[in-house]
């Protein structure tokens, strides 16, 4: 893992500090690097109606898309727990929507060695449709 990837993971760890997770007590932060080098962060925001909870990964994507971003290269996901957490299916599909070629997913957590994967390791056959 290179210095830029470790820096992205540190930004995800910092984002986890802003987590709103009063129900699960499972704080997650994400930092996403767009193709132009810009970085956006997000955190999980829970809701009493659990289905309305927003994951950190989608929160970071929304932050970037809101400022005009469309293609990402790397995302780091940090959990404030002594286990790694993998992006859920909904997050993977949203990440795929805005993925550039050969995207990396960096996973980290308290006391854990960071893990570097490709998006396709998690979602080898994403949903796509030709609506044109």
3-state helix/strand/coil string of the chain: CCHHHHHHHHHHHHHHCCCECCCCCCCEEEEEEECCCCEEEEECECCCCHHHCECHHHHHHHHHHHCCCCCEEEEEEEECCCCCCCCCHHHHHHHHHCEEEEEEEEEEECCCCCEEEEHHHHCCCCCCCCCC
User: Which sequence positions are flagged as catalytic?
Assistant: 57
Task: Determine the Cα–Cα distance for residues 102 and 119; give it in Å rounded to an integer.
Answer: 8
């Amino acid at each position: 893992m290179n210095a830029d990837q470790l820096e992205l993971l540190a930004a995800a760890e910092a984002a986890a500090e802003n987590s709103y997770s009063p129900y699960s007590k499972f704080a997650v932060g994400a930092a996403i690097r767009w193709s132009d080098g810009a970085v956006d962060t997000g955190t999980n925001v829970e809701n009493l109606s659990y289905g309305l909870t927003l994951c950190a990964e989608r929160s970071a994507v929304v932050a970037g898309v809101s400022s005009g971003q469309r293609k990402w290269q790397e995302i780091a996901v940090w959990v404030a727990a002594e286990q790694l957490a993998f992006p859920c299916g909904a997050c993977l599909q949203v990440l795929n929507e805005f993925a550039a070629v050969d995207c990396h997913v960096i996973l980290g957590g308290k006391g854990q060695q960071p893990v570097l994967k490709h998006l396709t390791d998690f979602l080898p056959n994403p949903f796509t449709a030709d609506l044109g």
